[in-house]
Amino acid sequence: MDQIGPELLGRLIDEHAAALVLYARQWCDSPEDVVQEALLKLARQSRPPDDVVAWLYRVVRNLAVSAARSAKRRRHHEASAAKTMHVWFGEADQAPIDAQTATAALAGLPSEQREVLVAHLWGGLTFEEIGRLAGCSSSTAHRHYVAGLANLRERLGVACPRQDSTQT
């Protein structure tokens, strides 16, 4: 055997893939991905290792342990980031709307309205920049913004200040 061909890979998958997935599951949450990566590494070899099955188990083990370490690091970083993450809404003593209600109302908006509101209000992007980002014109981005604000006001039961000042 000088080269790893599709026949050998197919036979290895048929005979060993399920056991390799079970083996990798001891260490990581994505054993199928690990086995697939190991098989890809095998396919890239110019010639098969002397004991292909033992080689696969060793590579699967190493990849699974690495995947578990990566997942642990990612969870740690995400937890740290969540602790320091700025919330969309700050709590105020006399706030007429609490942050949880406002966040839920924002999450309930259609995606194009929510995207434009967040990008403009919290991201500071112009409507032209938002249009390029969202794949629409700046005027369409502005229409989504106006509609999103109106939708938020309705969901939160808050009248527009300009509307209040013109009513008698």
Q: Where are the domains of the chain?
A: 6-84, 99-166
What are the tens digits of pLDDT across the range 115-152?
899 889 888 889 999 999 889 999 999 999 999 999 99
pLDDT score at 165: 43
Candidate CATH numbers 3.40.1010.20, 1.10.10.10, 3.40.50.880, 3.40.980.10; the one for domain 99-166: 1.10.10.10
What are the tens digits of pLDDT across the range 83-125?
776 555 555 555 567 778 888 888 889 989 988 998 898 888 8
C-alpha span between 69 and 72 (Å, rounded): 5
pLDDT band for 78, please (50, 70, 90 cuts).
confident
* pTM for the full predicted model: 0.49
pLDDT band for 66, please (50, 70, 90 cuts).
very high
- The label of the residue with tokens 């001891």 reads 26
User: What angle (nearest 5°) sits at the alpha carbon of residue 60, between those of residues 56 and 66?
Assistant: 150
C-alpha dist (Å) from residue 128 to 93, 119, 137, 150: 36, 11, 7, 21
